[in-house]
Chains A and B, each alone.
Chain A
């Protein structure tokens, strides 16, 4: 108790030093928490926009489809699986796709590209395909001969909404399939390659011309809770059986997840360098404060204060400053991350185009407004780390003190 009182008084006497230490500590804590929250937020958003643009959070395929993506490895009992999925409360939406290739022909030219069947209504719930519409209309489940085409692909084919073209492809039974199509709508995502080669038709129409009734190459699934995705993946795998493979975005977007990990590490390194500087400033203050009191500490030791109690005194001082600093910094940044989670920060002033171009090289989807991720348990851990760092700043002064016997310390001026 008396030690606590002494620690408080010592800090009050050296107000300037205490205030600077508290401010440095508050500032670095706030920065640490906020930068991490922004990182998490941008990564989460990157995942979301990348997954939602087209690949989806989870997908089912035939077991051998990944190695041999051909008609022998399809999901052949789509209705049965869709029935199973319907009853799972941890799934919020699902939709079947059939991905194939076709040769598209206009009067002028023929170009190869993707020819993919979607279930228009449920597809709108598992990807942003519908929202990516830029002209004409999105598909409906009653459509026949209607094509939903990427804008870049349309440019190559030199067609616009309402124009006719025809396709030739191989049906699911390896029969010859061909028909004419009318461009119903054009879409534009932020993935150039995708816009340049993708084309969609209504699945029930597709199943007729391609003889693919009840078959699908993929079933795309959105889990109810994205944070629970690993558990959902495991449970789903049990439910659908061994013939079907369940994957989630961490496997589908493996490169992206890896890129984000690298990004995270670099961000930690940058922060670490910054903290080393701040840590030294705080440690120097702690050192000066102890150095100026070596004599007084000698007296304390002489009249019966043990070395352990002297250590306690110094730790108490650091703890008081740390708790105040980390408290202020933590509270401020918790408030900020909470606020910016709902009001994403706009980085538009860096130039939308440049950011998009930058991400395009990695085939990622860029966003210019980034939300922070408010995560109280993580903030608590980060505050604790900062507090520990603060306590570590008295380590060196304590080592110095150990070199002095009480009388040496008392003779010190």
Chain B
């Protein structure tokens, strides 16, 4: 059994109206553990929609997503929240840190929801922060940090609770090329050292070439799926 299976996934927005959009038009995909995958494609090709459905944030019009035997497209709202908490780490384009929490609290938030004891989440937060070179900013609030710093904290938050899968929708889109490159390096290292599966989307050729497998979407369909050399 594969780690993640996407079967005949379709997503239609505004069905039946003039502005009907087939955001996803029959996606079939199999993903192994510990892969480091980039999804690219022109604007509107369905990258965000695909990641959202895989992450249990959105529901498909047709088809299903199976993560290690859990058919996530069948879960209730509340079970989905618990599923995401336990299995998925998200990195968003707009960082989306919680402004009322410090960097440290942002990173440990999910672990705390999961009921980890303080000693455990404190140690893990520090460990991840060192890996991502953000241990100096741990007591700062997001407002006082640069975009690059915030995004590294967001990555730390996604990875800290050891989820099975990290989904990052254009994580570097708001960063300059230096910061973007640094972030990709870190993500790649996390993928190797933490053995976490990562799927991210991007437009940026410099970022895309960091991945080990490249999936290209167009009009809601996969037009290319290659393993990079």
Contacts and interface: CB of A to CB of B under 8 A. Distances in A.
Contact of A299 (B78, B82, B89, B92): B92
A304 B161 CA distance: 11
Given A13-B100, A304-B113, A410-B96, A5 B84 contact: no
B112 A296 contact: no
Contacts of A299: 92, 96, 98
B100 A304 contact: no
A122 to B, nearest CB: 72
Q: How large is the interface on A (under 10, 10 to 19, 20 to 34, 35 or more residues)?
A: 20 to 34
A5 B105 contact: yes
Contacts, number: 61
A303 B85 contact: yes
Contacts of A9: 100-101
Given A301-B81, A304-B86, A307-B78, A6 B98 contact: yes
B110 interface: yes
Nearest to A299: B96
Nearest to B95: A299
B100 A10 contact: yes
B101 A6 contact: yes
Interface in B135-178: 157
A2 B104 CA distance: 12
B75 interface: no
B113 A1 contact: no
B99 A303 contact: no
Interface of A is mostly: helix
A306 interface: yes
A295 B70 CA distance: 28
B77 interface: yes
Interface in A291-307: 296, 299-307
A135 interface: no
A296 B142 CA distance: 13
A304 B115 CA distance: 13
A306 B80 CA distance: 9
A20 to B, nearest CB: 20
Nearest to B55: A302
Interface string A302-346: 111111110000000000000000000000000000000000000
A185 interface: no
Contacts of B77: 307
A407 interface: yes
A91 B112 CA distance: 65
Contact of A6 (B82, B96, B100): B100
Report which residue of B55, B77, B100, B113 has the largest number of chain A beta carbons within 10 angstroms of its beta carbon: B100
Contacts of A407: 52, 57-58
Given A13-B100, A299-B98, A407-B58, A305 B112 contact: no
Given A296-B98, A296-B99, A304-B110, A2 B105 contact: yes
Nearest to A308: B78
A255 to B, nearest CB: 59
A405 interface: yes
A340 to B, nearest CB: 43
B195 to A, nearest CB: 21
A297 to B, nearest CB: 10
A406 interface: yes
A196 to B, nearest CB: 74
Interface in B66-91: 77-78, 81-82, 84-86, 88-90
A407 B96 CA distance: 12
B200 interface: no
Contacts of B105: 2, 5
A303 B78 contact: no
24 contacts: A2-B109, A5-B105, A6-B100, A9-B101, A13-B100, A299-B96, A300-B98, A302-B55, A302-B84, A303-B85, A303-B157, A304-B81, A304-B84, A304-B113, A305-B85, A306-B78, A306-B82, A307-B77, A307-B78, A307-B81, A308-B78, A309-B113, A405-B58, A410-B92
Q: Which 5 A-B pairs have the closest CB atoms?
A: A304-B85, A9-B100, A306-B81, A299-B96, A304-B84
Interface of A: 1-2, 5-6, 9-10, 13, 296, 299-309, 405-407, 410
Given A303-B90, A304-B86, 12 more contacts: A1-B112, A2-B105, A5-B101, A9-B100, A299-B96, A302-B90, A304-B81, A304-B84, A304-B110, A305-B85, A309-B113, A405-B58
